[in-house]
Amino acid sequence: MKYLHEQDYYTVTPAEAYKILAQNKVPKKHKKLVMVTFDDGYENNYTAAYPLLKKYHIHATIGLITSKVDTQGMLTLKQVKEMKKSKWVSFVSHTQNHQELNRLDEAGQREEMYASRTWLKQDLHQKPDLLVYPVGRYNEVSPKVAKESGYKLALTTKPGLANAEQGLYELHRQRVVPDMTQEAFAKLLQP
């Protein structure tokens, strides 16, 4: 987070990512854009990441497994609401139960996506537009089901920088791993 701040990266929200990728509306005053994402909704997103996000003025997007909120080791609804209210964190769907979508039939995928989206609408009072595929896995029907379920974008774990040519429901993402050096991290951000 410190590196992104020091290098003057602008961290986009899911709504801004949609405008950039679908409408080619790139913020003119910012030259370096990145979307910071966390998967699953672990408690350390609140205890470790959230203080750094506030300190360095970094916006992050957390893909929640909605059935895991308020369970051991995961974010509580109270923590989620506090972070959402801060404006430094957006919450998006990581499905209801984190099942690998490529192993589910179309109806099963629809249930996972729809139930998660419904929870986000009811419990967080927001219109969730971004889906993060569990473990980045999906199949040929997943983009169609995601679109039909009301999502505008979906993230995979295919390595690389996201761009509109990949399709809005098959966007690539760079994986940051524990103990990654700053040099390796900087390389991930290069086009």
Residue 158's pLDDT band, with cuts at 50, 70 and 90, is: very high
Condensed to tens digits (0 to 9), the pLDDT of residues 16-48 reads: 999 999 999 998 888 899 999 999 999 999 999
pLDDT of 188 higher than 90: yes
Average pLDDT over residues 80-88: 96
The pLDDT tens digits of the residues spanning 129-150 come to 999 999 999 999 999 999 999 9
The answer for residues whose C-beta is within 8 angstroms of residue 122's C-beta and 6 or more apart is none
Q: Rounded to the nearest 10 degrees, how much is the dihedral formed by the CA atoms of 37, 84, 129, 38?
A: 20
Q: What percent of the chain has pLDDT over 70?
A: 100
pTM for this entry: 0.95
d(CA 154, CA 145): 11
